[in-house]
Amino acid sequence: MTDAVLARVYKQSDLDILAKEASIPIVNGLSDLYHPIQILADYLTLQEHYGSLKGLTLSWIGDGNNILHSIMMSAAKFGMHLQVATPKGYEPDPRITKLAEQYAKENDTKLSLTNDPLEAARGGNVLITDTWISMGQEEEKKRRLQAFQGYQVTMKTAKVAASDWTFLHCLPRKPEEVDDEVFYSPRSLVFPEAENRKWTIMAVMVSLLTDYSPQLQKPKF
């Protein structure tokens, strides 16, 4: 009855079953393991701002969640370095880390994981964070807020970043994750990032459902 399905689910295994049984394209709109369409919007935003992705250093400060997993699975392939800081006990999935290390080696990029937010931010072009409490984790709120103390992105964080630093957050944002000074600063790309969700979703649909080929020269990543 449809030409494609974009599914937001809790379990990645539900998407795997859909993809296995369906005769039409299945797009991951969000799962507990990955959020690839968000990362497409993020990379388009960075491509627009910096002109190129290659050589950028991404600094992730926050939870080892689905957004981070999608960045880890893709950053090296675009020539980007990745510095990750998560609290102890909230690290990314070890299976994803193993794959990310392999991709970094294959593409001659750097990947580092730490529990120190400032270490991850040091020299970073792009400071990135996300919600500390994802769908289905509401009961963990008190424990998570305590565990993430010191992980708020502030101008103190930005001071150790690269001189051309920018900030990304896929929204909705809470003040404990990033303060107003950074969130509403000219360095914050969160609103172009939000708009680019529209264009990248449309691009995914067009590329899957038509024989469209780009009219413009493919950008250099």
pLDDT in tens, the chain (221 residues): 899 999 999 999 999 999 999 999 999 999 999 999 999 999 999 999 999 999 999 999 999 999 999 999 999 999 999 999 999 999 999 999 999 999 999 999 999 999 999 999 999 999 999 999 876 777 888 899 999 999 999 999 999 999 999 999 999 999 999 999 999 999 999 999 999 999 999 999 999 999 887 777 766 65
Torsional class of 108: left (φ above 0), alpha (ψ -120 to 50), beta (otherwise): left
pLDDT of residue 212: 81
Residues 22, 218: Cα–Cα separation, whole Å: 31
Distance CA 150, CA 185 (A): 20
**Residue listed under structure tokens 């400060």:** 61
Please state which architecture CATH assigns to domain 38-194. Answer: 3-Layer(aba) Sandwich (3.40)
Determine the Cα–Cα distance for residues 115 and 112; give it in Å rounded to an integer: 10
The rounded distance, in Å, linking the Cα atoms of 165 and 156 is 13
Q: What is the pTM of this model?
A: 0.94
Query: Checking DSSP bridges between strand 57-61 and strand 26-30, what pairing results, if any?
Result: unpaired
Looking at residue 216, the DSSP 8-state letter turns out to be: S
Q: Which helix (H) or strand (E) holds 58?
A: strand 57-61
Residues forming CATH 3.40.50.1370 domain(s) in the chain:
38-194
Tell me if residue 170 is catalytic. Answer: yes
For the chain, the distance separating the N- and C-terminal CA atoms, rounded to the nearest angstrom, is 37
**pLDDT score of 68:** 98
Six-digit token string for 118: 């400032």
* Confidence at residue 220, expressed as pLDDT on a 0 to 100 scale: 64
Q: Look up residue 143 and give its two tokens.
A: 């424990």
Beta bridge partners of 168: 128
Q: Which helix (H) or strand (E) holds 50?
A: helix 36-50
Candidates 40, 158, 170, 178; catalytic one: 170
Q: How far is CA 48 from the centre of its chain?
A: 16
- Encoded tokens for 55: 């050589």
**What is residue 134's predicted lDDT score, i.e. its pLDDT?**
77
Cα→Cα distances 140→86, 93, 132, 145, Å: 16, 18, 10, 9
Question: E strands along 48-189, which residues?
Answer: 57-61, 81-85, 111-114, 126-129, 166-169
Rounded distance between C-alpha atoms, residue 153 and residue 36, angstroms: 23
pLDDT of the residue at 138: 77
pLDDT at position 135: 67
